[in-house]
Homo-oligomer: A and B are copies of this chain.
Amino acid sequence: MKTQLEQNANGKVATGFMLIKTIEKKIATNNSAYLNLVLSDKGGEISAKLWNYSPEKHGEYVTGDIIKVQGTIEEFKGSPQFRVERIRPKMGTDEVTMDDLVASAPFSSKDMLAEIRKTIEGFQNPNIAKLVSYLVEKAGDGFLINSAALRMHHAMRGGLIYHTYSMMKAAKALCNVYPFLNSDLVLGGIIIHDLGKCKEIQFADTGLAVEYTPKGNMTGHLVGGAIDIALAAKELNIDDECVTLLQHIVLSHHGIPEFGSPTPPMFPEAQVVSAIDKLDAELFEMLSAMSGVDVGSTTSKVWGLDRKLYRHSEDTEYRLNGED
C-alpha cells in the first residue's frame, strides 16, 4: 500500500506529515552524515534518506516523532525512496494527531467491542458467557488497539478486534446456514481465539506489533490462550466440559501442526472457527496485495499466500469490508 505522501505527491515532489518508524544516523562514503529513516502514514510506509544531515540545521528526532517533511520521491532497487529536503517537528499549531497517521480498522474499536459484549450477553450457556466475558475484559485496552499480527493480515491499529469482529459477523451468517452448530461455542471461540496474542506479541503505543515476547516465542498464542482459559476457569470456579471445548477451539484454530495447532479441529464448531479465521485473514491479505495493482494486472508473489494474485475486470472497486 502506498503512503499518502506518495498519493498526494505533485510529480516527484511531496510534502506531508509522517510518523518516524525507525531512524539511524550514518556516515556516507564521503564522510558526511546522513539519516536513514522509515517514515509512515495511514497509507503505508516508505524508506527515506536525509543527506548531509546537520542536527543544528534539521533538528534531532527519535522513533515515534511526528514530523513534517518535504522532498523528492526517487527509486532505489525497484522500490520508492524519499529524499528528504526539508524536515521539522510537528508544532502546536499543526492539526495532526497520531490517529491521522496510523492505519486503523474501518470501524471504531468501541463500537465493535460493544457488539461483541452484546453477542456474549446473548449466549445460552452461562459458563461460556462468563468465561468469554472474563477473558475479554481482562485483555483490556490491548484488545481495542493492538494489531492482529506482526506482518500480514490485519497489521493495523485495532486490527485484532477488527479481525475478531469480522469473523464474528461471518460466523453468525454461517450459523444460520448450518443450524446444527452450537453458536455459543462458535462465537465464544471466535471472540477469544486470538487473545493470547496480547501476551505473545509486544505492541507499540500505536497498537502496531513490534516483536514476539520471549514467552510468546516459548509457548505461542494458541497454548498461551488455552492456559489463560484454564486460569480463568479456576478463578471463576467453572469445572465444566465447555472449558475443554473452548481450549480445543483455541488450540485447533490453525488447523494443522505445521501451522501451530497441536491438534486438528475435532468437532464442527472448532472446524468452523478455523475455516473462518483462515478465510478472513486470506481475504484481507488478498485485498491489501491487489490494492497495489491495476485491473487486468497480476501481483508479484504474495508472501504469506505464496502465490500471485490477479485483479480481474469484474472488480469495479475493491473495498475493505464495512467501508462504503
Contact A176-B178, Cβ < 8 Å, known A244-B214, A309-B267, A311-B267: no
The interface residues of chain B lying within 8 Å CB-to-CB of A282 are 271, 275
Contact A314 B184 (CB under 8 A): yes
Contact B29 A309 (CB under 8 A): no
The interface residues of chain B lying within 8 Å CB-to-CB of A269 are 314
Contact B212 A313 (CB under 8 A): no
- The distance in angstroms between the C-alpha atoms of A278 and B244, with both chains bound, is 26
The interface residues of chain B lying within 8 Å CB-to-CB of A182 are 314-315
Per the 8 Å Cβ criterion, residues 246-286 of A in contact with B are 247-248, 251, 257-258, 260-264, 266-269, 271-272, 275, 278-279, 282-283, 286
Per the 8 Å Cβ criterion, residues 191-241 of A in contact with B are 212, 214-215, 217-220, 222-223, 226-227, 230-231, 234, 241
8 tightest A-B CB contacts, nearest first? A173-B173, A257-B257, A218-B248, A275-B279, A266-B310, A227-B230, A182-B314, A170-B177
Contact A219 B179 (CB under 8 A): no
Closest chain B residue to A171, Cβ basis: B177
Decide if A320 is an interface residue (CB 8 Å cutoff).
yes
Q: How many residues of A contact B (CB 8 A)?
A: 83
The interface residues of chain B lying within 8 Å CB-to-CB of A260 are 257, 262
Contact A314 B241 (CB under 8 A): yes
Decide if A151 is an interface residue (CB 8 Å cutoff).
no
Per the 8 Å Cβ criterion, residues 30-64 of A in contact with B are 51
Decide if A296 is an interface residue (CB 8 Å cutoff).
yes
The interface residues of chain B lying within 8 Å CB-to-CB of A290 are 267
Contact B298 A217 (CB under 8 A): yes
The interface residues of chain B lying within 8 Å CB-to-CB of A26 are 74-75
Decide if A185 is an interface residue (CB 8 Å cutoff).
yes
